[in-house]
């Protein structure tokens, strides 16, 4: 097992590229800028080591990372309707990013911040701990927030992200990682034939601007029923209005039942790779890169629609407007804790 560091000069910015490698040769590469995961290399059923996430060929493209490839997302992952909210009878305005709504913490969110990083070698694996402080009213949010985020790669080929945060004032907070997974290896195929199983019997209805309507719908009898496994391909030709608003795919919050150990299982039949996701979060936005076009130059190839699937475990910003949704309120001096693990194997 090893941890290596490389200094990058990216248009005058000095970034650090970290590589975590376990005893099996699995590697996770990430930047101190945005905590951006640029590569995860795992073996297929034949033992071939290949990358299973989307990332730019040129590091400078991360300076304008509108797709949020691999990045940490916060303070609030997802969309806040109208880019404003009321907290303790005070109105707060946050940056408008898309159609008059806030998205992923604003243009100066965690995905654009340079983290202080400490690395640790354990008997069980290799770890990097990322630190950052966000000042009061940064991107419009109240409270100075101190972040401590851990990237841990263990020898059982599990990559775990643990989040910890404390605010000096009552605030809103839900953090996630925006990696796009593609288990085919080196982006040989799209994710349309990936088989996905979700421990989720409900999902959140969206309007035409991808804002929750306030309705929580059952998945039964719809293309949103992943409880027994299905491919993404079914959404492409679906007439379901909810697939249509997401550009013939998924960009929806699924509410976990927490009846199974695994919240998510993703399989690629050709490579034999299997990804199992466990989390303590109440739900997840599954985004099937429906808005991705062919204009981006990735490490292995040109981008295209349906090239990756994001598994954004988090709470729901819809709770700011609607009752009955997993809350994102964080009280002053309370400790925000969250953990999500991504386990890789072959079959």
Structural contact between residues 322 and 328, judged by C-beta atoms closer than 8 angstroms: no
Element (H or E) spanning 166, and its range?
A: strand 158-167
Give catalytic status of residue 312 as yes or no. yes
Cα dihedral across residues 104, 73, 259, 344: positive or negative? positive
Of the residues 101, 104, 132, 178, only one is catalytic, namely: 178
Token pair 């969110």 is found at: 109
Q: Whole-angstrom Cα distance, residue 228 to residue 217?
A: 17
Question: What beta strand segments (E) does 192-231 contain?
Answer: 195-198, 200-206, 212-218, 230-231
Q: If you ran DSSP here, which 8-state letter would residue 234 be given?
A: G
Cα dihedral across residues 240, 246, 247, 248: positive or negative? negative
- Residue 195 annotated as lining a ligand binding site: no
Token pair 């100075």 is found at: 144
The token duo for 293 is 């076009």
Of the residues 50, 81, 127, 312, only one is catalytic, namely: 312
- Residue 111 annotated as lining a ligand binding site: no
- Residue 180 annotated as lining a ligand binding site: yes
For 243, phi then psi, to 5°, come to: -70, -35
Distances (CA, A) of 22 to 25, 121, 158: 5, 10, 10
Structural contact between residues 56 and 66, judged by C-beta atoms closer than 8 angstroms: no
Question: Strand 79-80 and strand 37-43: pairing?
Answer: unpaired
- Residue 338 annotated as lining a ligand binding site: no
Q: Please enumerate, by residue number, every residue annotated as part of a binding site for beta-D-galactose.
A: 178-180, 251
Q: Please enumerate, by residue number, every residue annotated as part of a binding site.
A: 178-180, 251
Annotated active-site positions, please? 178, 312
């Amino acid at each position: 097992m090893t941890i290596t560091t490389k200094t990058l000069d990216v248009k005058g910015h000095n970034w650090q590229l970290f590589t975590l490698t376990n005893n099996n040769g699995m590697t996770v590469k990430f930047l101190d800028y945005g905590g951006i995961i640029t590569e995860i290399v795992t073996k297929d059923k034949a033992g071939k080591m290949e990358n299973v996430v989307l990332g730019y060929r040129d590091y400078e493209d991360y300076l304008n990372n509108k797709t949020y490839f691999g990045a940490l997302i916060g303070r609030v992952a997802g969309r806040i309707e109208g880019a404003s909210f009321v907290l303790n009878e005070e109105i707060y305005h946050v940056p408008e990013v898309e159609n008059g709504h806030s998205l992923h913490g604003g243009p100066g969110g965690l995905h654009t911040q340079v983290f202080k990083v400490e690395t640790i070698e354990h008997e069980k694996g290799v770890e990097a701990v990322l630190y950052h402080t966000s000042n009061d009213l940064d991107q419009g949010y109240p409270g100075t927030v101190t972040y401590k985020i851990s990237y841990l790669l263990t020898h059982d080929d599990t990559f775990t992200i643990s989040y910890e945060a404390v605010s000096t004032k009552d605030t809103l907070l839900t953090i996630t990682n925006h990696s796009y997974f593609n288990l085919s290896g080196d982006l040989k195929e799209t994710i349309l034939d990936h088989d996905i199983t979700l421990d989720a019997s409900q999902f959140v209805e969206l309007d035409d601007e991808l804002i929750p309507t306030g309705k929580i719908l059952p998945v039964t009898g719809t293309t949103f029923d992943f409880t027994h496994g299905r491919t993404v391909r079914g959404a492409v030709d679906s007439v379901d209005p909810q697939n249509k608003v997401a550009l013939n795919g998924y960009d929806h919050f699924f509410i976990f039942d927490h009846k199974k150990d695994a919240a998510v299982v993703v399989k690629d039949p050709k490579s034999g790779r299997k990804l199992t996701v466990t989390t303590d979060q109440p739900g997840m936005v599954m985004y099937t890169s429906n808005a991705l076009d062919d204009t981006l130059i990735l490490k292995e190839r040109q981008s295209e629609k349906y090239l990756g699937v994001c598994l954004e475990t988090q709470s729901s910003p819809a709770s700011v407007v609607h009752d009955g949704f997993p809350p994102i309120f964080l009280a002053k001096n309370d400790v925000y804790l969250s953990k999500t693990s991504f386990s890789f194997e072959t079959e």
